[in-house]
Structure 1
Amino acid sequence: MKILLIYPYSIDKRIQEDDISVVPMGLYYIGALLKENHYDVEILNFYDLDKDSPIIRNILVEKKPNLIGFSILHANRWGGIEIARIARDIFPDVRIVFGGIGATFLWEHLLVHFKEIDFVITGEGEYSFLNLLESLQGKIALNVEDIEGIAFRDGERVKKNEARNHIQDLNKLPNPARYFTYQHLSLTRGCPGCCSFCGSPQFWGRGVRFHSPDYFVDQLDILYKKGVTFFYFSDDTFTLKKKLVIEICQKIIERNLHISWSAISRVNYINEEILLWMRKAGCTQISYGVESGSEKIRNKLNKAIKTDDIKKAFALTVKYGILARAYFIYGCPGENEITIQETIDLIQQIKPLSIIFYILVLFPGTALYEDFKQRLKLDDDIWLNRVEDIPYFETDPDLPGEAVVDFGKKLRFSYYDNIHGFADNISLADKKELYAYHADFYSRLGMTFSHGDYAGIDKIKYKDRTAAGLYQKALDYYPDHRAYLGLGIIQQKCGMYEESASTLKQGVSHYPESEPLNICLGITWMNLGKYDEALSCLLKFQDSKDAVGHIANCYKALGDTQQEMLFMEKLRFI
């Protein structure tokens, strides 16, 4: 039996695809469980395709699936439907299964309106999916009607079986890293919060379940040996259990896993000890859901955090050389100029080094969505429209759309006006054991201003000056490769070639085999007219496309036509 697990494309295209390009972890867990039970299963990421892409049909024809499972969040439900139609056109007998948070909360809507869908897995999907396959193949004495966590079509009616109990011992699940390669992983399932805009409480339940430290670090270890060095810990609240997180960090260090990773947490589950261990184990960023500077708005969102905890969490996180990122939501019930100013004021106090601003939108499975349906006397058939979500302001006559757009601009422009000041006023813990980590922190942040996200935003002021200052602060702590390179490039751009040569020479003395440092130093020597010195750097990498053109130009300046032509010819074939 050939099984495909597909992550479909979303309705709307994105400028930045980070939030839609990643296959949900649930597919890897299901895939691993199926492989453990000797099923032929593949996971396909179709996030960047559309219904007119010939790739979809070609892959389906090649794979010849007997059953296809689709991971449905919400924005990609129409992608799943369209791919299912293509599959059914090619293979009329192929079975189609939808699952995931989007399918769980719209199971009836999907089965009633889309005949392509045979089954919906509701809730946690691993064992329901496995039991469904076993039932369809006659491997177990269970009819579909008896499988927990399944919804299906019975003639003209649709039925939903009893919910399956949550998996209490997550360690019993096969380790997905044995079969697949990925960067996003989770220690937990569930969240202690009950935010009204989030579907997690209803999907996972209010309790939080945990993998053991060994299970979690085994995943990292296997993936690290496959070449993965950066990870996203995608838990709602990674730091919920202090002792558990510290043990994980200690095991990462003990196993010599030279990795970097980011995490998500809540401001009321953080302290200095946990931050110290997280930084030493490779954590470079923690994202916190702040949502609003207005306590009134946070209460309406059921975001049970205090302003003092927010301030403390951001100060401590940066103190240990971890970038503190803030999530804010605007366009909320009761939003106005006063609440937006309260958010701006809080941002000024906590000085986040990264922010993501979202407009409040409504999704099935959330308290706000249920309130919306009751207020407007609507049902789930609103999702027959090809929309990814419902902006809250479209449902509230007291919140004009133009005002919400202006709120977003005001928030972003205020942040852009001040981010350079936030970066200039960082205070780090004076612990010698952290000096190398502090250098890494400053150089990463510097790169954000000189080459990363902030470099392309015109409204952010003093980008090169800020980046140069951050690179220099990094070097004051430790000879950081990224800092030497970044500072040397900025000095080049400013025509400060003597200073650039000094910076890059120091970098090369610490990292003599670094291609980017040597090439950058070679270019600086060329700008100073010191072509022999330039060649001493560039010829170390004479097979590199980045160096060969500069080598040819050096020989041209030195009047060595034969060597110039030799390297120009070489450039053609690299």
Structure 2
Amino acid sequence: MKLLLIDPPFKSFAGIFSLYFPLGLTYLAGAAKKAGFDCKILDMDAAEPKEGSLNYSREYEHYSNYVTAINDAGHPTWQLMRRLVVEQKPDFIGITALTTKFGSVIQTARFCREILPDVPIIVGGAHASTMPELTASIPEVDFVLRGESDETLPDLLHTLAKKGDLSKVGSLTWKSAGKIVHNPDAPFTQNLDSLPLPDRQALLNPEHYSSEDMGIMLTSRGCPFRCSYCFHMWERRVRFRSLDSVIEEIQQVHREFGTTQFSLKDDSFTVRRSHVLSLCEAFKKLPFKITFNCTTRVDLLDDELLAAMKDAGLAQISVGIESGSASILKQTDKDITHAQILKAAAMLNRHHIFWTGYFMIGLPTETEEDINKTITFLRCSRPYYAGLGVYNPFPGTKLFDQGVKMGLLDPQPPLEHFLTTNPKDLFFKDPKKRLLNIDHQKFLELSESASQKFHHHNSNLFNLIRRGFARRRAYMYDPALLRRDFGRGLEFLGLGNLLK
């Protein structure tokens, strides 16, 4: 029997360039294949050649395009999806759901039901895990899987194929006699090595991915920290893959796709120092050279560790800075200080490692002074690249619950809300009332000014050259990446028209 897993269109609708592929779906494809099912993955943001901008200073405007597109049933992307889904002739359809693109999830389920009315539709992913009741209320959705589904998805498929007892499937939310039923949670898989490697061969339209796209992977799952803006699905526990398992996947991806640039998407890659040092030694012993990037925390770095990672091929590292305001930083429960951030920044700059600092503005109690402090701290920390986001409240987080108590957020908006609302405004009772201390027009002015200052920092020619130099190994092995990045660099400099 055949399973089709779908990642609904989002960035292609918004006009934003899409990197990588849906890693979680390739894990599920591997699990389904091991269980005896044929499985393919339809990543709608890669169903056509990838295009779009990497300039996030106009993110809100881009997302407005997304809202228009998801409500256009005749949009070419929806027409393409209908055709591709029918061509696959699936016996089951699975859809992954993230909060920001939940409107697209709703429409994907609707259009799939229209063209294949008898095929069961299953939804999983982060949003389905935080709001299973709302997800199950979509008329076209038959089943919702909460949490990790590496083991529960094959169990559900076998149960459906054999017309078995659905009440026995762990972490399943389903409909029985007109009511929504939530089965008890299934335990997480403790031994990650027992899971099949992600099945990248299940991806449709492989020609639309670069060798670098194929290099996304995990060496662990989970994060032990308590950030107030994060949904802690893994209950603040970390499980690690063995060294042999990680190396096996790297060798497989290199053999099949020629990949030499890997993106390690662990929540906090350096949380276990010995794990990282062992990986670095193993990376150096590979019969081919690799580069890698990762994400971690400023309080999980030291000179010896950075030297070892750089020697093993570290090309880029990302850390969360969040805010230049001490009071706002404290509200994030990140449990770091500005002194720790500046110490890590100095270390990274001393080692000449290309690093990204992530900042955000728009927390409910933020003031104009707080936002200005964040802009000032950008200049103090001097990251090679700085990402700035406007705070987005997500269900299941401490800050979300606080926003509800402050009267800013609606914890249970109707389904249609997700079809008509900019993803940056989801859950706000009034999108013009995001903060307690700054009115809407003033916040728009502040966020626009901050975005332009961050964009100016990132589009600085010196920073662009440093970014290219950090990726030189990847360019040597895949010249197409150099051509793509050169075009993005021209876009950042406002010279994109030269490519036309």
The TM-score with structure 1 as length reference comes to 0.70
The aligned residue for residue 366 of structure 2 is 335
SS in 1 for 2:99: coil
Q: Which amino acid aligns with 2:80?
A: I
The aligned residue for residue 79 of structure 2 is 54
Separation of aligned partners in 1, 2:343 and 2:85 = 52
Separation of aligned partners in 1, 2:340 and 2:455 = 24
C-alpha displacement at 1:48, in angstroms?
Answer: 5.9
The aligned residue for residue 13 of structure 2 is 13
Separation of aligned partners in 1, 2:196 and 2:121 = 24
C-alpha displacement at 1:344, in angstroms?
Answer: 2.5
The aligned residue for residue 81 of structure 1 is 106
The aligned residue for residue 198 of structure 2 is 176
* Contact 1:177/1:219, CA 8 A, preserved across alignment: no
Structure 2 residues without counterparts, runs of 5 or longer: 48-69, 204-213, 477-481, 496-500
The answer on 1:223 being equivalent to 2:253 is yes
The aligned residue for residue 142 of structure 2 is 118
C-alpha displacement at 1:297, in angstroms?
Answer: 0.4
Separation of aligned partners in 1, 2:457 and 2:171 = 50
C-alpha displacement at 1:177, in angstroms?
Answer: 5.1
Separation of aligned partners in 2, 1:46 and 1:162 = 32
The aligned residue for residue 50 of structure 2 is none
The answer on 1:163 being equivalent to 2:185 is yes
Separation of aligned partners in 2, 1:326 and 1:279 = 18
* Contact 1:352/1:422, CA 8 A, preserved across alignment: no
Q: Which amino acid aligns with 2:216?
A: H
Deviation per residue, 1:103-126 (Å, 9 max, x gap): 1112101222x1110100001111
Pairs within 5 Å for 1:231-242 = 231-242=262-273
C-alpha displacement at 1:323, in angstroms?
Answer: 0.7
Deviation per residue, 1:122-171 (Å, 9 max, x gap): 011111111101111229xx611121110001121101111111111111
Separation of aligned partners in 1, 2:128 and 2:470 = 44
Q: Which amino acid aligns with 1:109?
A: L
Pairs within 5 Å for 1:147-546 = 147-176=169-198, 179=201, 182-199=214-231, 201=232, 203-226=233-256, 227-376=258-407, 378-385=410-417, 386=419, 387=421, 388-390=423-425, 394-415=433-454, 423=462, 440=472, 451=486, 453=488, 455-457=490-492
Separation of aligned partners in 1, 2:85 and 2:458 = 48
* Contact 1:417/1:459, CA 8 A, preserved across alignment: no
The aligned residue for residue 4 of structure 1 is 4
* Contact 2:388/2:454, CA 8 A, preserved across alignment: no
SS in 2 for 1:261: strand
SS in 1 for 2:110: helix
Separation of aligned partners in 1, 2:46 and 2:199 = 24
SS in 2 for 1:98: strand
* Contact 1:372/1:395, CA 8 A, preserved across alignment: no
Deviation per residue, 1:270-316 (Å, 9 max, x gap): 11122122212222111111110111001112221111211121222
* Contact 2:434/2:440, CA 8 A, preserved across alignment: no
* Contact 2:228/2:332, CA 8 A, preserved across alignment: yes
SS in 1 for 2:122: strand
Larger helix proportion of the pair: 1
SS in 1 for 2:45: coil
C-alpha displacement at 1:42, in angstroms?
Answer: 0.6
C-alpha displacement at 1:97, in angstroms?
Answer: 0.2
> Which structure: larger Rg?
1
* Contact 2:27/2:199, CA 8 A, preserved across alignment: no
Q: Percent identity?
A: 26
The aligned residue for residue 159 of structure 2 is 135
Separation of aligned partners in 2, 1:455 and 1:12 = 21
* Contact 1:279/1:321, CA 8 A, preserved across alignment: no
**Which structure carries more relative contact order (alpha carbon 8 Å, separation 6+)?**
2
Separation of aligned partners in 1, 2:358 and 2:172 = 35
Structure 1 residues without counterparts, runs of 5 or longer: 428-436, 461-574
Q: Which amino acid aligns with 2:330?
A: N
The aligned residue for residue 66 of structure 1 is 91
In the alignment of these two chains, the number of paired residues is 440
* Contact 1:328/1:356, CA 8 A, preserved across alignment: yes
SS in 1 for 2:187: coil
* Contact 1:11/1:78, CA 8 A, preserved across alignment: no
C-alpha displacement at 1:334, in angstroms?
Answer: 2.6
The aligned residue for residue 209 of structure 2 is none
Separation of aligned partners in 2, 1:258 and 1:177 = 23
